[in-house]
Amino acid sequence: MKFFRLKIIHLFIHLHIFLCKKAKRDQSYVLKKCEKYLSNAGYYAGKYISYGRSSYVYSFKPNNLKKKVAIKIGRTKKYKNTLSNEMYFLKIIEHENIIKLKEDFVIGKIKCIVMPFYESNLYNYISKLKSEDIRKKEILVQILKALAYLHSQNIIHNDIKSDNVLIDEDLNIKISDFGLSCTNDEPFKIFLKLKFEENEGKYYHYSPEIR
């Protein structure tokens, strides 16, 4: 039994390494494919940041020497509607604690959105805070203001988690990632194609009625 458990762990480790290498190859390919167009559009020195189900995220330097930007580049055809959904909501949302859309464009059939670049998110930052730290209140108030605004506009974010809460050195909070967002009158529409039974652990933060 012990040998069997070790074998399973060994297989999972190899699978994780394989998936990481594949993601690295894919993000390099996507960057190379889009780099020429992006340089013509005034964005240089692309560096990989992270990836999600529907896109890769890179940091770029604009040629006008302004602050770096984050460019989200569509990753798969299967989830192309997720990026389109995010574009739609970012264009109609206006709040100081929600990420702003700088511009969007299409390279071939690949959709891209340009946003301000943030060095960190709440997931990385929260480990630095102590339980009595007053900064927690400052952060929470900003998050609640953003959510109150969204709900006043009949918008449901649907994916609030620490990874999607961006933060700068001055504790300015920006809610990001609206790929799963929807309006109050269609809360189930965005989830119809998600196979929760195959990804049970991934959706633990969704409300029971959605799961």
What string of DSSP letters covers the chain?
A: -HHHHHHHHHHHHHHHHHHHHHHHHHHHHHHHHHHHHHHHTTEEEEEEEEE-SSEEEEEEEETT----EEEEEE--GGGHHHHHHHHHHHHH---TTBPPP-EEEEETTEEEEEEE--SEEHHHHGGG--TT-THHHHHHHHHHHHHHHHHHTTEE-----GGGEEE-TT--EEE---TT-EETT-TTGGGTT--GGGSGGGGTTS-TTT-
Catalytic residue selected from 26, 133, 159, 168? 159
Annotated active-site residue 159? The verdict is yes
Indicate which residues carry an active-site annotation: 159
